[in-house]
Structure 1
Amino acid sequence: MFAQSFFPAQHPIKAALVLAISTTVWSANALAETPQVPVVTVGAQAVSAGLELDGSLQAVRQSTLSAQASGRIAELNVKAGDRVKAGQVLAVIDDRATRAGVAQSQAGVAQAEAQLTNAQAQFDRTRDLRAKGFVAQAALDTAQSQLKAAQAGLAAARAGQTQSSLAQGFTRLTAPYDGWVLQTHAEAGALAMPGSPVLTVYAPQPIRAVVYVPASQQAIAQSAQRVEVQLPGSGAWVVPASQMRLPAADPVSQTVEWRLDLSRDDGADQTPGAQVRVRFVDTAAAKPQSDRLVVPSSALLRRGELTAVYVVAPKGSDKPEGFALRAVRTGNSHGDAGMEVLAGLKAGDRVALDPVRAGLAGAVPAAK
């Protein structure tokens, strides 16, 4: 009854008008709740010369300790992350055979010493008897020959003892210096063969940054006025205490290794393997380089090793404009100008300036 009195059948135009107004208000509220994300059009910009690459930290003194004898690993006394002292026994390979060899060589030395003592006494007696004329010269010559043979036998026995002691030492892996265990490559009970790695140790100081510069960009790196390393954690850029470039390029990757030694203060508490950024700064370069695609740093979305941006997706016949996630490969940072994009974008692409909001459901580019 109420509906009939409010919308009488004889007034269909009024009912349609009320429905249109309600639909318009709902559409306006829905549009207000839709994430509006500002975008920027990517284009080539003139940027200054320079080069920035990813590198990693590396301990200058790092050693992989390998087995020198075959046998089962009887003891593994350390694990990754343990601190070690120079000369500390880190692992022991089953040494029952080598211990038997040491015992046998010790017995051989004792036997040779006894034979030498007997030969020396026989020689002394024969010499005295020869001096008194009781024996012939031939008897003295024989005693002297037996003495020399006993001396040579003792020398051979002692050499055998040294050899067995060395073989016994090969069953023990000791720390070459004070440092830390970086990695273990085997477990107790595993079979070790000569040359097979057992564990890796490193000294915390000194430490260096290693970067592989493409051969095509060597000219930029060599002409740089200054080289800087961005330390992990703090984000500070520091100048290495010394630098060295290897004289040859890798034939497979076509890169040249640069080793940048950090000072003791800059390298303190740093961990080998950590990723760093290395930049070759050409402070004297006043000539800009063109044809570089640059996007604002705020537009980049970093998730682990993935670097991506949200690109405006074209409007379809049945859907409005939206955003699509696209992986990119970045190059040098150009400060306020943004980050250079080497791959993944082209001039004219529109990129979201707020990648977090662009990833929300229903996000659309903001109206200009």
Structure 2
Amino acid sequence: MNTPIVFPLRSRFSWRAAASALTVSAGLIGSAHAAPAASAVVVPVVTVQAGTTALGFELDGQIQAQRQATVAAQIGGTVQALLVKAGDAVRAGQALAHIDGRSASADLSRGDAAVAQAQAQLDNARLNAERTRELRAKGFVSQAAQDMADTQLKAAQAGLREAEAARSQAALARGFTTVTAPFDGLVQTTLLEAGDLAGPGRPVLTLYAPGALRAVVQVPASRAAAAQTATRLQVQAPDGGWVAPVRHTALPTTDPVAQTVEWRLDLPALSGAAPGQSVRVRFEGGPVAANAGAAALSVPASAVLRRGELTAVYVVQGSQFVLRAVRSGASRGGAVELLAGVKPGERVAQDAVRAGLAGAVPAAAAQ
């Protein structure tokens, strides 16, 4: 027998409340679907315009240690222990790693045995030569027999020298089982770990002396003459200030692929500077001043995005932004000179940070 289900009177109000809740939820869902259109990030744009060139130019560079080395293994074997880690300070001659030396020890033992054997052969040849000489003096043997004995003695002497050289080489190889620091410095990075297989010439770690740093910049070949005759060089320090290098050197060769000339600028002591940091290098004065008033492309400094070695702007293409790498020049009065990457009349985002957000659209496209 089926029992009818009886709802209390107040249940109809619950159904009405539920229906109202569903209606409200549907409205919220509809507004949620419409939200993305309202969440678009509208970014103002500026037009790349021609201006006047600054009396100089700037390039991106990188800090390097003046004294650095890649310490490599000189024998093959398993790395038994890596005694340092990145950031550790080490002294010249300090042990950095131990390599399995059982093979080197066996070679040394083999060398000792070879030296002992060669010494015994030499002793025997010397006694034979002395007896032959005495017999020759009494006329019991011929001159040919004495000559043969003397030749065997010389061969035994040469064999001993060869065995001793091989033993010295084995002893030297056994000394290579301990990798040591060539100078005082800091460990920049380790390239092997305990248990890895080392081999002759395989890097173990990199080491640098922190006291002397330099800025390295690649100067385009088209600006090499202007850089050579610049009257003032400056490097931007990590704190934002500009410092003059102690000395500078331009390598005499040009990179055949990049068509750049490497400049090395030795820096004074800088607080917070470390190898690998990106810096700006400024070349001022010289014949570059003759270009003053010539057409140059520039954009506001806020339009330029700098991330490590990347310098780029967001260019308007249709209704969206496209990131494009550029080469920047000098910065003057809140504007940055663009040497390559854009053309006059192109539009770029005025705020490069906002243009990189999801949903960012140019101001004109949002209208």
TM-score (normalizing by structure 2): 0.68
The equivalent of 2:255 in structure 1 is: 250
Deviation at 1:192, TM superposition (A): 2.3
CA contact (8 A) 1:181 1:200 kept: yes
The equivalent of 1:66 in structure 2 is: 72
Q: Distance in 2 between matches of 1:354 and 1:67?
A: 47
The equivalent of 2:227 in structure 1 is: 221
Structure 1 unmatched ranges of 5 or more: 1-33, 315-322
Q: Any residues of structure 2 matched to 1:80-95 within 5 Å, and which?
A: 80-95=86-101
Residue 298 of structure 1, aligned match among 283, 297, 302: 302
Secondary structure class of the residue paired with 1:334: strand
The equivalent of 1:333 in structure 2 is: 330
CA contact (8 A) 2:311 2:327 kept: no
CA contact (8 A) 1:69 1:170 kept: yes
How many pairs were matched up? 316
The equivalent of 1:182 in structure 2 is: 188
Secondary structure class of the residue paired with 1:73: strand
Deviation at 1:54, TM superposition (A): 0.8
Deviation at 1:72, TM superposition (A): 2.1
2:108 is the counterpart of 1:75: no
The equivalent of 1:352 in structure 2 is: 350
The equivalent of 1:238 in structure 2 is: 243
Q: Distance in 2 between matches of 1:137 and 1:273?
A: 84
CA gap of 1:80–1:47, structure 2 versus 1, over 3 A, is same
Deviation at 1:182, TM superposition (A): 1.6
Secondary structure class of the residue paired with 1:259: strand
Q: Distance in 1 between matches of 2:41 and 2:187?
A: 51
Deviation at 1:188, TM superposition (A): 2.1
Secondary structure class of the residue paired with 2:165: helix
CA gap of 1:194–1:35, structure 2 versus 1, over 3 A, is closer
Q: Any residues of structure 2 matched to 1:20-169 within 5 Å, and which?
A: 40-106=46-112, 155-169=161-175
Q: Which letter does structure 2 place at the counterpart of 1:352?
A: Q
Residue 272 of structure 1, aligned match among 272, 275, 281: 275
CA gap of 1:352–1:102, structure 2 versus 1, over 3 A, is closer
Q: Distance in 2 between matches of 1:348 and 1:156?
A: 76
CA gap of 1:296–1:138, structure 2 versus 1, over 3 A, is farther
Secondary structure class of the residue paired with 2:294: strand
The equivalent of 1:23 in structure 2 is: none
Secondary structure class of the residue paired with 2:201: coil
Q: Distance in 2 between matches of 1:116 and 1:358?
A: 83
Secondary structure class of the residue paired with 2:226: helix
CA contact (8 A) 1:112 1:154 kept: yes
Q: Which letter does structure 1 place at the counterpart of 2:57?
A: L
Structure 2 unmatched ranges of 5 or more: 1-39
Deviation at 1:186, TM superposition (A): 2.3
When the two chains are superposed, the root-mean-square deviation of aligned CA atoms in Å is 4.3
Q: Distance in 1 between matches of 2:218 and 2:90?
A: 31
Q: Which letter does structure 1 place at the counterpart of 2:87?
A: G
Task: Summarize deviations over 1:65-87 as a string: whole Å, max 9, x none.
Answer: 22222222222222222222111
Residue 285 of structure 2, aligned match among 282, 286, 291: 282
Q: Distance in 2 between matches of 1:209 and 1:354?
A: 27
Q: Which letter does structure 2 place at the counterpart of 1:272?
A: P
Deviation at 1:260, TM superposition (A): 0.9
Deviation at 1:347, TM superposition (A): 2.3
CA contact (8 A) 1:37 1:358 kept: no
Q: Distance in 2 between matches of 1:361 and 1:149?
A: 87
CA gap of 1:114–1:334, structure 2 versus 1, over 3 A, is same
Q: Distance in 2 between matches of 1:189 and 1:84?
A: 22
The range that moved more, 92-101 or 284-293, is: 284-293
Q: Distance in 2 between matches of 1:213 and 1:348?
A: 26
Q: Distance in 1 between matches of 2:193 and 2:352?
A: 49
Q: Distance in 2 between matches of 1:35 and 1:151?
A: 89
The equivalent of 2:20 in structure 1 is: none
The range that moved more, 328-337 or 150-159, is: 150-159
